[in-house]
Amino acid sequence: MSDFLAAVERRAYKQALYALRDNDAALDAVQDAMLKLADKYADKPVDELPMLFQRILQNVIRDFFRRQKVRSLFSTLFSTFQGGEDSESDPLETLEAATDSNLPESPQAQVEQAQIMAAIEKEIARLPPRQREAFLMRYWEDMDIAETAAAMGCSEGSVKTHCFRAAQTLSTALRAKGIEL
């Protein structure tokens, strides 16, 4: 279980960050999803964990939005207090890359790769939520269509449509920026 959680933590954080657009909320969502998985499904086979974890993470994200909606309703009704904004730093950027990672050798190539990744992440964040969810599960989490459909609670045809539209939108936006992959 711990090996699985260690392997998915970075991707899960990015996925939550794209959805929630708040570092602290994303870290909390990933932590909650991991705790729920470990608490409720520790006895499940390892091959079932990715789909279960994705479903739990998506439910935690939806719960966050539900709570946020209720809180904002009550805070606007009963209070004028507005919280301050936190810094936009990414705590995962401070971690060292594994030695077997695909980090380029030269500093110039590292900067170019970082700029391309930032552009890709920015465009992924702009995708509609369902397209982003399908795209991340299929291509970042490497889930098949059936697993993605089950995790998203929709048909396989919907997953294919969301993925196609997301890939088309990303391709067009990146090409407009001069990025060819």
112 shares its domain with 73: no
Q: Which long-range contacts (CB under 8 A, 24 or more apart) does 53-59 make?
A: 53/4, 53/8, 53/12, 54/137, 54/141, 54/143, 54/147, 54/151, 55/150, 55/151, 57/12, 57/15, 57/16, 57/29, 57/30, 57/33, 58/133, 58/151, 58/152
Same domain, 118 and 52: no
Range of the domain at 57: 1-80
Task: State pLDDT tens for residues 27-77.
Answer: 999 999 999 999 999 899 988 889 899 999 999 998 888 887 766 665 555
pLDDT at 74: 53
Cα angle, residue 91 at apex, residues 126 and 95 outer, rounded to 5°: 115
Is the pLDDT at 87 greater than 80? The verdict is no
Instruction: Give the C-alpha separation, 44 to 53, whole Å.
Output: 11
Total domains, the chain: 2
73 and 2 in a common domain:
yes
3 shares its domain with 50 = yes
Q: Quick one: average pLDDT of 79-89?
A: 47
Report CA Rg, the chain: 18
Residues 122 and 48 in one domain: no
In the predicted structure, residue 79 carries a pLDDT above the cut 50: no
Q: What is the pLDDT of residue 128?
A: 92
Which pLDDT score is estimated for 84? 47
Residues 118 and 181 grouped into a single domain: yes
* Contacts with 119 (C-beta within 8 Å, 6 or more apart), sequence order: 174, 177, 179
Asked whether residue 53 falls in the same domain as residue 114, the answer is no
* More reliable by pLDDT, 69 or 20: 20
The answer as to whether 165 is a domain residue is yes
Span 88-143, pLDDT tens digits: 555 445 455 555 456 667 888 888 888 888 888 888 889 999 999 999 888 888 88
Domain containing residue 117: CATH number: 1.10.10.10
Asked, for residue 94, whether it belongs to a domain, the answer is: no
Residue 128 φ/ψ region, left for φ over 0, alpha for ψ in the -120 to 50 degree band, beta for the rest: beta
Together in a domain, 148 and 113: yes
